[in-house]
């Protein structure tokens, strides 16, 4: 099977955890979008009455609106039953790197409010140690670009400003993203705390202790991994 088929299988499998009446966090990215579409089709067919959803990006909100999925906010529904989202890396402890899609801030806010976070991915995202294949995205207010860049370099990161064409990429909150490549990340929790200590840093893409389940698509089929 090709990669896109694997992503679709993982995204759709995760929707089996969604029940009528739930508050659902809708993730962002090329795998999570398949879950959004599956939920949308089930909503239209009357199979998920009473659900409301909180999108983690404006892109996801527009996708959900295509199907008429009822949307809400954390101000109205501060407790989320389940969030389905993708990941850029998954380690054996279910710790993640997320944010290559640019929505890490809202994704982490929604994940932290969720009773269950189901990560959908394909087997290529599995790593033995975070940082093996993906940079750590760091969302930063534009005013602080230079001091935060210098600080991250002092931590051993190779720092690249994410671009959208010739201009800096801007998040939904109008912040910039600095993609930080480390030679290794032996202690993700310590790195996460250290990054957040710098003024101007809004959030980072280390998602630690948030995922409860992983739906992993492999060439041999879809696997459900749980703690």
The CATH 3.40.50.1360 portion of the chain extends over 3-127+208-226
Residues 6 or more apart whose Cβ sits within 8 Å of residue 192: 204, 206, 208
- The per-residue pLDDT for range 137-170, each reduced to its tens digit, is 999 999 999 999 999 999 999 999 999 999 999 9
Which CATH entry fits the domain spanning 136-204: 3.40.50.150, 3.30.70.260, 3.40.30.10, 3.90.650.10? 3.30.70.260
Catalytically annotated residue among 63, 107, 139, 203: 107
pTM: 0.96
Q: Which two tokens stand for residue 189?
A: 């929790």
**CA gap 220, 210 in Å, rounded:** 27
Q: Which two tokens stand for residue 130?
A: 């975070």
- The per-residue pLDDT for range 32-48, each reduced to its tens digit, is 999 999 999 999 999 99
The DSSP secondary-structure symbol of 177 reads E
107 annotated active-site:
yes
- The per-residue pLDDT for range 92-137, each reduced to its tens digit, is 999 999 999 999 999 999 999 999 999 999 999 999 999 999 999 9
The CATH 3.30.70.260 portion of the chain extends over 136-204
Topology classification of domain 3-127+208-226: Rossmann fold (3.40.50)
């Amino acid at each position: 099977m090709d990669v896109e088929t694997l992503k679709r299988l993982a995204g759709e499998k995760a929707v089996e955890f969604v029940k009528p009446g739930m508050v659902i966090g809708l993730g962002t990215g090329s795998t999570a979008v398949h879950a959004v579409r599956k939920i949308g089709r089930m909503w239209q067919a009357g199979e998920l009455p009473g659900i409301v959803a909180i999108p983690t990006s404006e892109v996801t909100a527009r996708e959900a609106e295509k199907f008429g999925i009822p949307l809400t906010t954390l101000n109205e529904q501060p407790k989320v039953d389940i969030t389905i989202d993708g990941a850029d890396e998954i380690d054996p402890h279910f710790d993640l790197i997320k944010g290559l899609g640019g929505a890490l801030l809202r994704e982490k806010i929604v994940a932290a409010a969720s009773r269950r976070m189901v990560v959908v991915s394909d087997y290529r995202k599995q790593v033995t140690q975070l940082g093996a294949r993906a940079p750590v995205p760091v969302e930063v207010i534009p005013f602080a670009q230079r001091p935060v860049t210098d600080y991250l370099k002092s931590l051993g990161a190779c720092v690249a400003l994410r671009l959208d064409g010739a201009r800096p990429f801007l998040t939904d909150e109008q912040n910039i993203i600095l993609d930080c490549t480390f030679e290794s990340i032996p202690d993700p929790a310590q790195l996460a705390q250290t990054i957040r200590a710098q003024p101007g840093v809004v959030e980072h893409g280390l998602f630690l202790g948030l995922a409860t389940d992983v739906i992993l698509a492999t060439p041999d089929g879809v696997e459900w991994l749980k703690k």
